[in-house]
Structure 1
Amino acid sequence: MTPTHLPGRVAIPSLPTVLDAFNTAPADDARALLLACLRSVRWAERLAAHRPYPDVDSLLAASDEAAYDLTPGDLAGALAAETLPVLPEGVYGAAYTALNAAHAAYEAKFGHVFVICLDDVPPEETLDHVLAAIRSRLTNDPEEERVLTAEELRRLAKGRLVRALRGARNCATSPNGTALGK
């Protein structure tokens, strides 16, 4: 039996991705996913309202743009919901004491928790990185720190959003552009 020739090209339907699910989810569900990435109602509503996104890069660019547009009040609300960075287990008690003291000094000076994106930091360097960053940023004036804090929140939101979309594999990329799931 000879194979039958099909004229033209045959379209093979693509499988739905996590981005497809995000784009078509009810607005409340999309906002809930976004609020898990950054506790800013303005940011989440803006991203949810501009769906559908053609690809993950477009969503991440919109995430950055919305984060850059947050007001000081929006940042304060997002910061109020942040928690301290998770450190690897097995760190010495003295290091935790130093870290707790540094966090307390930071909060006393700036009035909010210290936030830092640790996505590119190897786990074994996390504690040193956090301590050095807190100590360095304690020398900032409040306006300098507001700008740095907003940037760290933007980076945190972007990383969390990428991790939430990681199941898309073939279309999601990390903040540094590498394909996820590889």
Structure 2
Amino acid sequence: MPEPAVPAALTRFNSEPVEQVEDVLQAINAAPRFATEVAVGRPYPDVDTLVRRVEQVSRALPWEEVAIALTAHPRIGDRVTGSSTEARSSRREQHGMADADAELKAAVLAGNRAYEERFHHVFLVRAAGRSAEEMLAELHRRLANDVDVERVEVTGQLAEITALRVRRLMENGAP
């Protein structure tokens, strides 16, 4: 049985200069060591292996690096403008907020404020595939976490978001 063809995007990812690959990865996850650790693991034999490595590296980031990555993420419910990779991804991923009514949007905004007062960083949740109601429920649930538990949850959410974005990058024929 012949081996499946390697997608063109993965072939480019595996062969581009390390600086170019790091730039692409840094736009997906701004943690300083993330891009380098994923780039030095090349070549990846398939997209699934790449995505597993992306999640592994993301989950192993120290909190200080996760905190840096958080600075690149907008608040859930914010109107994201611009043409950066982060802005385009956030608009696509937060699609569930687009149809929320004014009351629900106000509740998310209030929840964001309460979360930021409690944890001193933006609420991060994998928004892709979630409705506004689901994101608000998750926000309320996580407000009850202590700081250490919340940091573990944030790191996990960052890993999920990063993996989704890298998979999308490979599916869309980039970089």
How would you bin the TM-score normalised by the shorter chain? Answer: 0.7 to 0.9
Describe how 1:97-112 pairs up with structure 2 within 5 A. Answer: 97-112=106-121
With over 3 angstroms needed to count, the CA separation of the structure-2 counterparts of 1:98 and 1:18, relative to structure 1, is same
1:35, 1:57 → 2: CA distance?
20
2:101, 2:51 → 1: CA distance?
37
2:120, 2:167 → 1: CA distance?
29
- When the two chains are superposed, the root-mean-square deviation of aligned CA atoms in Å is 1.8
Q: Larger % of helix: which?
A: 2
Match of 2:21 among 6, 11, 30: 30
1:96, 1:120 → 2: CA distance?
17
Give 1:89 deviation, angstroms: 2.6
Please list the CA deviations of residues 92-145 of structure 1 after superposition, one character each: whole Å capped at 9, or x if unmatched.
112111110000000110011011113343xxxx11011100000000000010
- Matched residues, number: 152
Describe how 1:46-125 pairs up with structure 2 within 5 A. Answer: 46-85=37-76, 86=94, 87-121=96-130
Identity %: 29
Gaps of 5+ in 2: 77-93
Q: Which of the two has higher C-alpha Rg?
A: 1
Gaps of 5+ in 1: 1-13, 169-182
Structure showing greater relative contact order (alpha-carbon pairs closer than 8 Å, 6 or more residues apart): 2
- 2:6 and 2:45 in contact (8 A); partners too: no
